[in-house]
Structure 1
Amino acid sequence: MRIHIIGTGLLGASLGLALSAQKYQVSLEDTSPTAQQLAADLGAGTIFADGGNDCNGGSGSEGGNGGDPQIVVIATPPDVAAQTIATALETYPDATVTDVASVKTSLLESVRELVGRSELDRYIGCHPMAGREKSGAIAARSDLFTARPWVICSDENTPHNRLGEVVTMAEATGASVIHLDPRIHDAAVAKVSHVPQVVASLVASQLRHAPLEEVALAGQGLRDVTRIAASDPRLWTQILAGNSEEVRSVLLDLRTELDEVITALEMGPGATGALAKAIALGNEGYDRIPGKHGQAPTKYAVVTILIPDTPGTLATLFKDIGDLNINVEDFRMDHAPDQKLGIVDVSVVPATQQELETGLLSKGWQIPESAIEKEGIA
């Protein structure tokens, strides 16, 4: 299958890397010659050339497309995606055109205004739920989409052969395909992606003028909440504007609950019930987040191990856990302030917690406040 990717940023270049690894014929196009060349040099595909007529009004300089593409993927910034889709539909009258934009309803409406019904039948909106805080082809990874949801928006009028092509392409990246109505998609990503970005950015912004001695107290909790605050402001401005109605609705609900917390804090000790309710409702929502491989949420036991910050120590720890024949369900690591120590939290099935702690203690690992010690077993 011949795939033509227009836009060689993080998603476009990552898609090219993933498909090229599966022996697809991938051609690349970007308004920036430097970005285009970088993606090609990284192995994402060959620079597009079609005799001097490309989708952006320029001309390719090397390579060749080996025939017209079967699928054209638009991976441009959201604010130019609709026009680029319309141009691609006109330029490639036999190709299926898709995109990777994170907002679907407003984009579909804009494309509908630019093209006719017959052209619109060749457009299938997509959104791979994958990304990084870093941007550009230099941050691209061939495994970016592996085991990630890939949303495809189609309806009963979508030609089955074209839908099948897009599904095949998405699955070739290792993604898991999900079919959603555009409006349902936009409501969903507002809750699970767009509002979390806003909240992370707002929390991180409170650190701008904080004294360094206060910021030095930051632990894993702050890092977890603010990790995505390092995202690209230009890109996210376009994403939030494109899904403004859904994002605003969630933020209004969030503001209502935040106001309740603020009111409770103003009332002092007599309003602890409202504070407890806010935390409890958060527990309830957290428990609905899918577990591994999209399965039902699972409660894991967490074993904390202190490890010296020296080369090879983490590898030794995981080898020892493997020797105990215990599966690590999740893992995270923090660093002790002013000490060369790592604080490792290993999540395991509760039934194996005591076995893991006993085994690691016997191998000389330091486990503070282990369940074994609390029960007086050790």
Structure 2
Amino acid sequence: MRTVAVVGTGLIGTSAALALSARGITVHLEDADADAARTAASLGAGTVEEPAGPVDLAVVAVPPALVGKVLADCQRRGLARSYTDVASVKSGPRAEVAALGLDTTHYIGGHPMAGRERSGPLAARADLFEGRPWVLTPTPDTDTETLNAALELVALCGAMPVVMDAAAHDRAVALVSHAPQLLSSLVAARLEHADDTAVRLAGQGVRDVTRIAASDPRMWLDILAANAGMVADILDEVASDLQDTVAALRALEAGDEAMRQGGSAGIEAVMRRGNLGHARIPGKHGAPPTRYETVVVAIGDQPGELGRLFREVARAGVNIEDVAIDHSAGRQVGLVQLSVNPGSVHQLARALAERGWDVRD
């Protein structure tokens, strides 16, 4: 692959263009908003000049509802030898492509499982897809050349290809992406008119649950509208669980001992189901989840403190598997939670304490 056209220079399109350009691919940028394309070009994502002839691959990076229309225009112009898209829903665009009578031999659906809470070309990153799954949904007549072009795109962006049926993909993302987005927003919405004192008590737990609630509603409306039925099915199941959980909590308030025991059993059951579901989420490098232990260190909010801490951990010969920071609302200090293998906990805690770090139990 030597030449690529990216049609749509938002977060995903521009990130793909940056990754390709960094690998020496000539990338031609298009967008209905000419300013967005020029912004992407100024970031080093490619050129806004039209290609002299058909490029090797065109990446249609527009919302799901626009994929068919934009692909039709690209094919009419003979923009590329092969085409793919990066829309987060696959069944709707595939049906529209078929309804428009477009060439499906040289087209393959795609969806990189990566994103950010911010949108637009200025939020783009060349490493956005590194190590992330990139779903490909070929049609029955997608030819080998087109599949290979899409696989090369995925490899150049540092992602991992996953071939799926379009409908199976949509059910999967409804469960692991679209419904969680709405649930995060619903939890965060409880904070909108909450008492200031209550909000100041927010710790890492509520920050984790509501992190993606900062996402752009306009972008998500396009995604959810294209997968509304699948997401509604998931939320119906969640709503049933919520009703059962509310009933269990009400029972805990009851004066009757049998009702309280039933309520306790209901709460324990849903939390154990949560344990089992969480345990199925792939761990580091896609391996089965590993139970790490945490070393907590207090650091001041000054430049270089976190880097200094990481260097000390490296000197101790310990690998950091994950890290989180719990910020204090009242002081210029943070608690850094270093997740490490269980066998390294005492070694690391002792080494850091000996070097003057404030290690917390």
TM score, norm. by length of structure 1: 0.91
For the pair 1:230 / 2:214, whether they are aligned, the reply is yes
Matches within 5 A, 1:133-282: 133-269=117-253, 270=260, 271-282=263-274
The answer (yes or no) to whether the contact 2:104–2:142 under 8 Å persists in 1 is no
Q: Which residue identity lines up with residue 110 of structure 2 in the other structure?
A: C
> Structure 1 pair 331/93, CA: closer, same or farther in 2 (3 Å)?
closer
Distance in 2 of aligned mates of 1:225 and 1:201? 9
- Which residue is equivalent to 2:35? 34
User: Could you list the runs of 5+ residues in structure 2 that have no partner in the other structure?
Assistant: 254-259
Query: Which residue, out of 74, 81, 100, partners 2:60?
Result: 74
Pick which of 203-212 and 303-312 moved more.
303-312
Distance in 2 of aligned mates of 1:35 and 1:337? 38
Across the two proteins, how many residue pairs are aligned to each other? 352
- Which residue is equivalent to 2:106? 122
The answer (yes or no) to whether the contact 2:41–2:47 under 8 Å persists in 1 is yes
Distance in 1 of aligned mates of 2:341 and 2:71? 47
1:283 is displaced (CA, Å) by: 1.0
- Which residue is equivalent to 2:325? 333
Distance in 2 of aligned mates of 1:159 and 1:314? 50
User: Could you list the runs of 5+ residues in structure 1 that have no partner in the other structure?
Assistant: 50-64, 370-378
Q: CA RMSD in A?
A: 1.3
1:306 is displaced (CA, Å) by: 1.1
> Structure 1 pair 156/110, CA: closer, same or farther in 2 (3 Å)?
closer
Q: Which residue identity lines up with residue 255 of structure 1 in the other structure?
A: A
The answer (yes or no) to whether the contact 2:104–2:141 under 8 Å persists in 1 is no
- Which residue is equivalent to 1:47? 48
Q: Which residue identity lines up with residue 143 of structure 1 in the other structure?
A: D
Distance in 2 of aligned mates of 1:177 and 1:124? 13
The superposition leaves residues 47-104 of structure 1 with CA deviations (integer Å, 9 ceiling, x where unpaired) of 032xxxxxxxxxxxxxxx2432111111112221221112222222762111000000
Secondary structure of 1:344's counterpart equals strand
1:158 is displaced (CA, Å) by: 2.0
The superposition leaves residues 165-209 of structure 1 with CA deviations (integer Å, 9 ceiling, x where unpaired) of 110011101111111111111111111110110001111111111
- Which residue is equivalent to 1:106? 92
The answer (yes or no) to whether the contact 1:335–1:343 under 8 Å persists in 2 is yes
Secondary structure of 2:281's counterpart equals coil
For the pair 1:363 / 2:343, whether they are aligned, the reply is no
- Which residue is equivalent to 2:82? 96
1:2 is displaced (CA, Å) by: 1.0
The superposition leaves residues 8-53 of structure 1 with CA deviations (integer Å, 9 ceiling, x where unpaired) of 111111111110000001000111111111111111110032xxxx
- Which residue is equivalent to 2:256? none
1:157 is displaced (CA, Å) by: 2.9
1:325 is displaced (CA, Å) by: 0.8
> Structure 1 pair 243/342, CA: closer, same or farther in 2 (3 Å)?
same
1:334 is displaced (CA, Å) by: 1.4
For the pair 1:14 / 2:15, whether they are aligned, the reply is yes
The answer (yes or no) to whether the contact 1:305–1:344 under 8 Å persists in 2 is yes
The superposition leaves residues 318-376 of structure 1 with CA deviations (integer Å, 9 ceiling, x where unpaired) of 1110001110000011112211211010001111111111111111212222xxxxxxx
Distance in 1 of aligned mates of 2:76 and 2:99? 14
Distance in 1 of aligned mates of 2:45 and 2:148? 23
For the pair 1:313 / 2:314, whether they are aligned, the reply is no
